[in-house]
Amino acid sequence: MKTYGLLGYPLGHSFSKGFFTKKFKAEGLSDHEYINFAYSEITEAVKHLRGNPEILGFNITIPHKVNILPYLDSMDPLCSAIQSCNCVKVEKGRWKGFNTDVLGFEYSLNPLLKPAHKNALVFGTGGASKAIVFVLRKLGMEVLQVSRTPGKGVASYEALSVDILKTHTVWVNTTPVGLAPDSESVLPLDFNQIGSAHLVYDLIYNPEKSKLLQKAAQMGATIKNGMEMLVIQAEESWKIWKS
Ligand code: NAP
């Protein structure tokens, strides 16, 4: 068997297994499989995955995109620049890290951008946020990251003034807040400051319209969920594994 999979924890919400299983079937690849590797501890995951010669590649999701870095044998330049990995290719037992979230986010965001989108707020400082911040800065935006534990250049939710919320017209949620089954949860933000010039992007795709996106839509903002990004990053992973 040629085995691919998704490493993360928990994996209840995972889309990738269904996506690749359908893809392999459609392409007649009956000796290919895509399975979930649900490990909360990265050391346990590495012990299991390293010893299996059938594993040719895997994706990585919450909470291991950064945890995996010390276990990679090499990284492609993008993965190395961002220091976050969501795709590993295994060749002769060696692990090479890639980041396909970058393309997924950039390609799905681009058609929605307007000249007024110059300042962005990125909620969360985990693995996915690194790809998001990288893309927004590459596009020339000023980015302010927001965290529950603020620090140098990273604001707290409480510190977001009316002015900041109004002038930062791109908001990106990279936290799991609002993800099913906790779909009633929402970040502690003053949604009244959202206007029609705002673009609110939530990396969450389940539910299709998170509480954050519902509130943003009510205020007239353009909204986008994480589904297109997810599909693009998966297609890019497949290109890497096939190459
Ligand atoms: P991660 O590395 O665990 O990071 C999540 C970050 O969210 C944490 O670092 C934390 O930042 C913040 N956070 C966690 N719990 C929170 C809470 N209760 N309240 C406020 N902030 C909280 O996870 P990840 O890999 O970056 O993934 C994050 C989310 O993005 C997941 O829901 C994942 O499914 C989604 N995602 C979607 C796609 C896609 O293609 N659509 C791709 C990647 C990720 P602070 O500690 O700084 O507050």
| Ligand 1 lined by 150 (C-beta under 6 Å) | no
Q: Give the position, in ligand 1's atom list, of the atom nearest the Cα of 13.
A: 34
Contact present, 194 and 168 (Cβ < 8 Å): no
**pLDDT reported for residue 25:** 97
Pocket test for ligand 1, best of 15, 174, 224, 229 (most atoms within 8 A of CB): 174
C-alpha 191/C-alpha 165 separation (Å) is 9
| Ligand 1 lined by 128 (C-beta under 6 Å) | yes
C-alpha 120/C-alpha 108 separation (Å) is 16
Pocket test for ligand 1, best of 16, 67, 175, 184 (most atoms within 8 A of CB): 175
| Ligand 1 lined by 147 (C-beta under 6 Å) | yes
| Ligand 1 lined by 8 (C-beta under 6 Å) | no
C-alpha 129/C-alpha 148 separation (Å) is 14
Residue 41: CB atoms within 10 Å: 11
| Ligand 1 lined by 178 (C-beta under 6 Å) | no
Active site residues: 65
**pLDDT reported for residue 2:** 97
What residue's CA is closest to ligand 1, atom 32? 176
Start-to-end CA distance of the chain, whole Å, equals 18
**pLDDT reported for residue 69:** 98
What residue's CA is closest to ligand 1, atom 34? 204
C-alpha 177/C-alpha 187 separation (Å) is 7
C-alpha 27, offset from chain centre: 26
Place of tokens 């996106």: 213
Contact present, 143 and 154 (Cβ < 8 Å): no
- Phi then psi for residue 150, to 5 deg, are -65, 160
Contact present, 50 and 88 (Cβ < 8 Å): no
Mean pLDDT, consecutive 10-residue segments, the chain of 243 residues?
A: 96 87 97 97 97 95 95 97 97 97 98 97 94 97 98 96 98 96 96 98 96 98 98 98 95
Structure tokens at 22: 């359908």
- The secondary structure of 52-76 as a DSSP string is -TTEEEEEE-TT-TTTTGGG-SEE-
**pLDDT reported for residue 51:** 83
